Amino acid sequence: MNYVLITGGAGYIGSHICKFFFDEGFVPVTFDNLSKGNKWSVKWGPLELGDLSDEGRLKRLFEKYSFIGVIHLAALSSVEQSCAEPNLYYKNNVIGSFNLLQKMIEFKVKNIVFSSTAAVYGNPIFLPIDEKHPTQPINPYGDTKLAVEKLIYNYSKAYEINFISLRYFNVSGSDFLNKIGEAHSPETHVIPLALESIKNNNIFNIYGDDYNTKDGTCIRDFIHVKDLGKAHFLSFKKLLSCKACEFINVGCGKGFSIYEILDSAKKITNMGVSTSIVKRRDGDPDILISNIDKAKKFLSWKPKYSDINSIISDSWKWHQIYS
């Protein structure tokens, strides 16, 4: 059997990746502690409960399945929380990844696709951001992801680990037909928060209007979760076919401000939204926009669903029924 370990496979992104791998003939094995993920979203392969901090549980997992590779998603991912509680992030994200890599070496599993982030870049020196941009994270979340990238890179040299690290920009959208979408608790992402405010007639908080941007709100690059799922699959296929030690951006290559997101959401829902300006959050850069030329060339990948209106429309379908 073509078993692929998906750490964090019960989460929003993980569930979409599991579906993609299942559709392509692989058996995705979800390893998740369900602290952020949802049991109901594990539909395309077995669920193994456990935590990356538990080395004994990890060993039993690797003894049970002969994995041909790993998609490593499991991590804490709130910028705001990482600034308030950095100890949680270094323990969970860095030490957990170390434990995983140790088991990969012990059981001779050579291939890993790592879920990284655009937060490794920090405040951009130039735009759009390509993979040669300096990595200078401005929050503990981004720093833990960069630490794991360095860990995997050094392990690749010493232990012949084959890897691709995907640096995500902002992920949204849903797979409405297969009943999976964003269901975080608490929700921290801008598009589902905006849609929840519209649906429930609540005030939407805008975290700062003093950014160095055209309308004062921060600008972000959004990728549809289905496009991200394909990027993981193409990365994994590349690892199976050749040696690779690569860092690759995945986004749509365009940026949208918070006000632009709200304008699109109002048009799609045909509803209004009340807003309130609150203090900007620590660790939030002004602008993040990706250069995705490397993904297009190295992976033969390009975003298919990542038009911002398509992302918000898919998200709205999901939130109307399931949120």
Q: For the domain covering 3-172+223-250, report its CATH number.
A: 3.40.50.720
The one-letter amino acid code at 83 reads C
For tokens 């790993």, the residue is 70
Q: What is the pLDDT of residues 86-126, one digit of tens each?
A: 999 999 999 999 999 999 999 999 999 999 999 999 989 99
Joined together, the tokens standing for residue 6 give: 């998906």
Q: What integer pLDDT is reported at residue 178 of this predicted model? A: 62
Radius of gyration of the chain (CA): 19
Q: How far apart are CA 37 and CA 227, in angstroms?
A: 20
H/E element holding 265? Answer: helix 258-269
Catalytic hit among 12, 89, 121, 141: 141
Q: What is the pLDDT of residues 118-162, one digit of tens each?
A: 999 998 999 999 999 999 999 999 999 999 999 999 999 999 999
Joined together, the tokens standing for residue 197 give: 């405010």
Give the DSSP letter of residue 245: E
Residue spans of the domains in the chain: they are 3-172+223-250, 176-220+253-290+303-322
Q: Determine contact, residues 114/72, Cβ cutoff 8 Å.
A: yes
Q: What integer pLDDT is reported at residue 283 of this predicted model? A: 75
Q: What is the pLDDT of residues 39-71, one digit of tens each?
A: 999 999 999 999 999 999 999 999 999 999 999
Q: What is the pLDDT of residues 270-322, one digit of tens each?
A: 999 999 999 988 778 899 999 999 999 999 999 999 899 999 999 998 888 77
Q: Determine contact, residues 175/229, Cβ cutoff 8 Å.
A: no
Query: In the chain, pLDDT over 90 holds for what percent of residues?
Result: 85
207 is catalytic: no
C-beta atoms surrounding 217 within 10 Å: 24
Query: What fold, for 176-220+253-290+303-322?
Result: UDP-galactose 4-epimerase; domain 1 (3.90.25)
Do the domains 3-172+223-250 and 176-220+253-290+303-322 sit in the same CATH topology, yes or no?
no
Joined together, the tokens standing for residue 100 give: 């995983």
Joined together, the tokens standing for residue 185 give: 């608790």
- The secondary structure of 168-224 as a DSSP string is E-EEE--BGGGTB----SS---HHHHHHHHHHHTPEEEEE-S-SSSSSSS-EE-EEE
